Amino acid sequence: QVQLVESGGGLVQAGGSLRLSCAASGKSISRNSMGWYRQPPGKQREFVATITSGGATSYADSVKGRFTISRDNAKNTVYLQMNSLKPEDTAVYYCKLSKWPLTGDYWGQGTQVTVSS
């Protein structure tokens, strides 16, 4: 079955940068929309960014201009470049593969991002 593994999280100071990776196995992601979501401590999971199979991107207002989602289909990997990080960005970040038009999605286990002030 499909497995998504996030990596690249860690502790960073406010204003710093991190690049998250989501490596997929078991299926080619080239024809799937992919996304990044995050869950801050004590809060529900929220949308961060998506990228379609054609490369069109969409971002939450809170990260526009700071985060960039990209994909490398040859590596079956999706990335999230995070710049100008703020303490409010602290969360567990999850990668999602859209199964549309099938029911449901595939999710990774998440990677922790902590931004210190």
Q: Tell me the pLDDT tens digit for each residue of 13-37.
A: 999 999 999 999 999 999 999 999 9
Which of 57, 44, 51, 41 minimizes the C-alpha distance to 95? Answer: 51
Q: Tell me the pLDDT tens digit for each residue of 32-60.
A: 999 999 999 999 999 999 999 999 999 99
Torsions phi, psi of 89, nearest 5?
Answer: -80, -5
Tell me, rounded to whole angstroms, the distance of Cα 49 from its chain centroid.
7
For residues 90-110, average pLDDT:
93
